[in-house]
Structures are given as C-alpha cells and as structure tokens.
Amino acid sequence: MTDSTAPRTALVTGGSGGIGRAVVTRLVDDGLAVGVHYAGNRATAESLVEEITTAGGQAIAVGGDVADEHAVAAAFDAVESAFGGIDVVVNTAGIMVLGSIAEYDLDRFDQIVRTNLRGAFVVSQQAARRVRDGGAIINFSTSVTRTQLPRYGPYVATKAAVEGLTPILARELRGRDITVNSVAPGPTATPLFFDGNTEQTVQALTAATPLERLGRPEDIAETVSHLAGPARWVNGQTVFVNGGLA
C-alpha cells in the first residue's frame, strides 16, 4: 500500500552546481525529497545535502558517470532505497566544449556525445523503467538549437538529439500518466556559460533578449518545478526558457 504521507521524490543529475543546484533547491522547497547526483565533485554535492537536511529537507548525494549504465542504475537504487521510489527525474548533467566543426577535435566530440547524448539516453532509460506512474521526466536541451550560433555545432548536435528523443519516450510511456519534456535554457549565468564564452559574447547575449539580462539558474528551476508538478498537460515538448531570445 502506498504511503500517501510520504514526500514525492526526485533524482537530479548534475545536481551539485549551476542550474542543477538551483533545480535541487527549488524541488526541495516544493516539498520533494531529492537525490543530488554528482559526477566528480562529491564534496559539493554532500555540502548541498547538508544544507538541505539542516534546514529540514530530505536529500542524499549519489555519484557516477551518467553514461555508465551500471553507475546510473546504482544511483537510482540508492534514491529508491532512501525514499521508497522515484517520481521525478531531471537530467541536467552535461558538458559544453565549443569549437568550429571544421577544426573540432574528434576525441572531444566523442566526449561530448558520451556525456550529453549517451548520458541522456542512459538516464532516460532508467527513468522509463523506474519512475512511478504519475511522475515526470525532464531532459535538458539548449536554445542554441534555434539561435544556431557558430562554434556550438557539436554541443547543439547532442542537444538536438535529446530533443528528438523526448517526445518519442513520452509516447512510449502511454498509459502510465508520466510526462516527458525537455527544457531548453537560453544564456544563463552559470560557470559553464562563462567558461565557454568570451566577455564580448557574454555582453552580446546579455543584450540579445528583450529583457536585457542573462537568465538566472532560478529562472530555469521555476520551469522545471512547473513541469515536475502541476503541468500535467504539457507532454512531449521542448520548452524554451530564454527571456524571448529569438
């Protein structure tokens, strides 16, 4: 028998920093128990978990390479063991290595495909098997699939594939009341964004939106919160969260 008083539970990949951290914090504020996934920075994830639990929330840290199916299965196992099941999976984990298509190093290409595409597929596969009926799966794309900026080709290729995967999984989960969507942020003030762009590019992108600012991680987390909870009629979609960037 299901315990109706138990909190809903989420697993957030890449949850220890940037947008992932904001998503974790928002979902905890929404009353969910959260598995905070990290790839390499265990200390940061554990610090976030400590902040959450000290404030009265529920969270655990889980690690592993998102492209390793055994590591991902173990992360799902740990969250299920701690909280009794999984209702929401948010796949924010990803890397961004920019460069022109003509000059791009193929070893780097293999790396970005492994993390962003294979990783998204592996996490989605486990989510399809594990998320409880009535839950939500939320992948991450990028608004650059529309803006088509130079030097983003390899990154966009991986994210466009995730956008294609998302509605198909939504249809494959017919009958289980599980929504599957992608969130496509625009320029967002995170270390990943600042590390990958010149100051000139940052200024240009800041001015490009009608709101004339960069997005904040909290802006993206707000949309994730909606898709994870009340947005039960949004399914198989990519939601562009970019302040009106063309």
- β-pair type (179-185, 33-38): unpaired
Handedness of CA 179, 119, 14, 187 (dihedral sign): negative
Residue 151's region, left for phi above 0, alpha for psi from -120 to 50, else beta, is left
Residue 165 tokens read as 């995967």
- The residues assigned a catalytic role are 155
Looking at residue 88, the DSSP 8-state letter turns out to be E
The rounded Cα 127 to chain-centroid distance in angstroms is 13
How far apart are alpha carbons 120 and 97 in whole angstroms?
Answer: 17
